[in-house]
Chain A
């Protein structure tokens, strides 16, 4: 009887480990530079404030704030090089939709970064607003330590290119990612 019970538990543990979606694939962390602390403040450059969709940045920052232990603070116009994220709206060269570039480091961490969004490139294809939000969440994801691990590791906003579908998972961080953030901040 005991033997059967132990064998059953073993099978359940193994099968469960394969089926729990939040834990399916490990990722290294951080894959990029970590931010300097758990509060992400952000600002808008003039071009971004006057762009077609500055709300997408608020969406991304609030997603970080509401789904993880990190917080976000909007500070208005960009004029302080210590602000964690400066948002830009640009015509990025070639097929680039968005980019995150650490500008100022503090030891091994990133003190301040640029996030640059190319709305024209993103708006090629369907579901433009959701695609902008995916790209913004994606770039903020880089700023908190994530690389392009989707879909290789799991489905989340860290997928490159066009929004795969309107499924909300493509505009969110995976539970595995959130666990990494929450363990760090």
Chain B
């Protein structure tokens, strides 16, 4: 009797060990895990599509205070559209073989830095996959609640001889805002937590206090902004 019990322990232990050490790869499935789509319109799906075939390595905003200091504008609002991003002119071939940006159009509800009035539209450049279109992102992203920590990249150019061309769908003058890779978070009614377009909530540990929702993220930034 006890022999059978001990054998059960051994089998169970091996099973647990396999779970702990096992790989999740499925040799039959070649689609990346992040690209498996659902039919729900959500921030999760928007992030999946925004980063399909694109990964960025970036220096993090180390704390809410650092985010406030580094940014030129911080807004909270609704994502009302996604349109084409900036493109390159001049020696454009020096900067890459595809346009890596989309423009997220955010209708402002509140701002921390800067002085965007409620209802103002803010146009933010966001690193975007070349495998998905801005129109596709707009279809699934409109209406999401977003917080955007933005830098002003007016005058920036990626390489000598390359010019930056604004898309027709955004104002021809004024600041050219870029969302920090870990400074753009969205949440829809189907999302249990906020979703970063390039970052994960696990990155907001330590000084950030592990915010899980756009409400919490915004409150954290509000406190840092004083």
Residues on A facing B (Cβ under 8 Å): 2-3, 6-7, 9-11, 13-14, 16-18, 20, 23-24, 26-34, 45-47, 81, 86, 88-103, 105, 108-110, 113-114, 116, 121, 124, 135, 138-139, 142, 145, 147-148, 152, 160-162, 176, 179-180, 183-184
Contact = CB atoms under 8 A, between A and B. Distances in A.
13 contacts: A6-B6, A7-B6, A11-B13, A16-B17, A32-B32, A33-B32, A93-B153, A94-B178, A138-B57, A148-B55, A160-B58, A161-B60, A183-B27
A176 B23 contact: yes
Nearest to B20: A17
B131 to A, nearest CB: 6
A101 B96 contact: yes
A18 B60 CA distance: 31
B54 A95 contact: no
A139 B54 CA distance: 10
Interface of B: 2-3, 6-7, 9-10, 12-14, 16-17, 20-25, 27, 30-34, 53-61, 70, 94-98, 100, 125, 127, 129-131, 151, 153, 156-159, 178, 180-181, 200, 202-203
A135 B55 CA distance: 12
B72 to A, nearest CB: 11
Contact of B3 (A2, A10, A90): A2
A160 B62 CA distance: 12
Contact of B98 (A13, A101, A121): A101
A131 to B, nearest CB: 11
B191 to A, nearest CB: 20
Contacts of B10: 6-7, 9-10, 13
Given A45-B94, A86-B97, A103-B97, A180 B25 contact: yes
Given A2-B3, A13-B17, A88 B59 contact: no
A81 B211 CA distance: 43
Main DSSP-derived SS at the A contact region: mixed
Nearest to A134: B57
B24 A96 contact: no
Contacts of B94: 45-47, 88, 90
A35 to B, nearest CB: 11
A3 B3 contact: yes
B74 to A, nearest CB: 14
Given A18-B20, A88-B95, A93-B178, 20 more contacts: A7-B6, A7-B9, A13-B14, A30-B25, A30-B30, A31-B32, A32-B32, A47-B159, A81-B97, A94-B151, A94-B178, A96-B57, A98-B56, A99-B54, A99-B55, A101-B129, A103-B97, A121-B59, A160-B57, A184-B27
